[in-house]
Structures are given as structure tokens and as C-alpha cells.
A and B are shown apart, each in its own frame.
Chain A
């Protein structure tokens, strides 16, 4: 029997193969049979979690509360120096240069990435904007969010900062950043769940030591990470509490 591992569907497409390489490395190190299942969207992934199919997950911070409190998951590690930040941007031709100048009724483009959308909506609050008084334009990718802004189909875009920074220079020149979040403490985490909890310490040791090993370092590079660092239970609880305050 193999355990099911999944990755938050907001992973960068360039790193898809990296997750498969990582899974192979993890199996080899731990001796535990693990199957990687990549879901296309958050809803399908959450259904699999609800059915107790998942034992290991690289989780979006938005799902962390549910994973810990309802499904008994515990944190393992997070990538060093990585945090989830959001950007509010408009088309470069838009005369607005402050969120406070935006008015109710504006069309906001975003993806279904839950923590980024939440941070983005918080950054729109100073303009008295909320989910009830904006027009929503849901997109599959951040490139689509940018396209809607360039075409004038949307007034405002909510981006994962990393995805915005990865847009081509030509596209970025045609966009203006109104706000970039500097929250620092919201991050994805690799989490271990029922079925594997008794091996938590062993997994943590292999993962933390990964950057000190030549092969491990190569695998980390394929994920776009420098190293993993331990996340203890209280740090995860703190982030869950923080997300809780932001969800209202």
C-alpha cells in the first residue's frame, strides 16, 4: 500500500516535474512508498482530503486550519525564505495610483488561490471595497489575470507576488503595482497526516538535511527552494490563528 502525497494546486507550473523528482527522492530516503497525486483545483483536492485519502501534503496556508483541526495533520517543514505575498495591480493606463481611489463596482480579476485572494481583498478594504461591492472575474492563471488588465476587461488584478514577478518584462511594463503585501508569516508548509504521523520525526530529519546533500540540493533547486526548515506545532498554530483573524 502506498501513501498519497499531494501539492497545493497553486504550485508554479515550471516546478511540476520538480515535485515528481522530490517524491522519488523522499521515497528513496524514507523507504516509504508514496504516490504523488496532483489535483487541478482546490475543490478536487479538498474532496480527497475530506475522504481521508491524503497522508502528505504541501499545503496552502488557507487549508492549514482544516488539515490540523479537522484531519489531524501536523507540520513538517517550510521552504526557507519563502512566504506568500500578494500584489494589487492595475493597467498602466489606469489613472488610479492608490487603492483608496478605487470605487465600488470595479471589476477585480483573481485566481482561486485562496490565501492570495484573501490577502488581496484585505488590501482593497482601504478603498471600501469588499466581495459584495466589486464585480468578480475568476481566472485559471495569473497570466490570465494580467491579460484581463491589459485588455481592459478588469480594473484591478490580485496576484501572487511571485507569479507577478515571473511575468515577462513587457507585460509588467504595462501594469502598475498599487500595493505589495509585506506580511512575511504566511507560508505554504509540508504537512504529514494520519497513517504517517509515527514517522514525522524521521521525515523531518531527512527534509532538514536535504540541503546538505548534493543530490538533495539538486532536488530542492528543481522545486525552486534553497532548503527546508522545521515548522513546530506552535508556529503552525500561530499561523492558523493569524489566518483566522484575516478571514473576517
Chain B
């Protein structure tokens, strides 16, 4: 087995001592997800293995009566999602923050992200951001998002996100490119509590955009 995914220049040094053949290798990685260097290793590892091809949702994770649909996601991926009509209200005063690499693979999440999405931090790091994609969101919204941020501009919109338990939550999302020394190294997305008026407008508008 090649150890190439773990031995890039940025991850040199202490990480070389990790041997993927060791039985506790994965446990070591997932225990230390708060270490930024470990984030890179996990993302590289998952990408290498194709783990960012996010898994289908499982009925045992879902709370309440659900419907099922298969979504066509960015990059030709498909995902079976199970969704309910149960809304989780956005908590007052909090921001949901995440960072992705340039291809949309999650590299950082804050605690509010973990709580609202229902996934663990380890499940989120290295997964595609499409893990939150709700079938009621028109694909045109995400095309607009990607077209905008790839031009180096900020994108803002109202988004219905899918939870691991099949429920949903509305957010006002802002996405910006992270530019370091002139190069886009990823994207930061910050979600805040939306106004109910705007959410109602989107509830009416989005079905017409499919």
C-alpha cells in the first residue's frame, strides 16, 4: 500500500510515523479531529479512498415518517436521502461556520454546525458539503453559488439544509473564497438565523426553480 496520501510536504514530520497498517491507525486519526494538521490528513485520506462520495442516508438514523429520493449532486455523485417535515429552529445568537477545500470537501466545522446537522465532527470532516443538500433546494441555487464564488465573489442566499435525522433547518448563508497569497485555498460558509418572512418567500419561490 502506498503511503503517498500522508506524506506530502505540508504533512511531513510527525505524521510520517503513522503507519496505516497499524490496527489503531484510524482510531488515532479520528480522535484528533480538532488538530488542524489531522484535518488535512483525514481529508486527504478520505478523498483518496473516495469517502467524500457521501453515503446514502439510513432509515435507522431518521426520526419520524420520511420520504425517499435520490439526488444528483455536484461532481456526478448520487445520494439517496430520507427526509421528514420536522423543522429544527435556528438557535438565537449563534453562527454555523464551516470551511471547505476548493472542491467543496469539508475541512472545518464549528460546534453549532455539529449540533444543527446532527452529524459528528468526524463524520463531517472530509465529507462533501453536499451532505446537507435538501431535495427542496433547487439545483440552480447551488450552481449560482459555485459560479459566484469561483469568480472570487461572495454569495449569499437562503438555504434549507438537511439533517442526519431527516429533518431540516433554514439558514441565511454567506460563502466567501479564502484567498491566501492570491490563491483560492478553500471557502468559508457562515450561516445565521434567517427572517421568517424571507423563509416564507423562499418556500413559495424554490419549487418554481426546478
Contact = CB atoms under 8 A, between A and B. Distances in A.
A246 B178 CA distance: 14
Interface in A167-195: 178-185
A241 B193 contact: no
Contacts of A1: none
A126 B193 contact: yes
Given A125-B195, A128-B195, A244-B154, A238 B92 contact: no
Interface residues of B, number: 28
A245 B92 contact: no
Interface in B159-210: 172, 174-176, 178, 180, 188-190, 192-198
Interface stretch (B25-33, B60-68, B93-101, B136-144): B93-101
A227 interface: no
Contacts of B156: 248
Interface residues of A, number: 25
A154 interface: no
B194 A126 contact: yes
B110 to A, nearest CB: 7
Q: Is the interface of A mostly helix, strand, loop or mixed?
A: helix
Interface of B: 36, 90, 92-95, 97, 99, 110, 112, 154, 156, 172, 174-176, 178, 180, 188-190, 192-198
21 contacts: A125-B192, A125-B195, A126-B90, A126-B92, A128-B197, A179-B93, A181-B93, A181-B94, A182-B93, A182-B112, A183-B93, A184-B110, A185-B97, A185-B110, A234-B36, A237-B180, A238-B99, A238-B188, A242-B190, A245-B174, A246-B95
Interface of A: 99-100, 122-123, 125-128, 178-185, 234, 237-238, 241-242, 244-246, 248
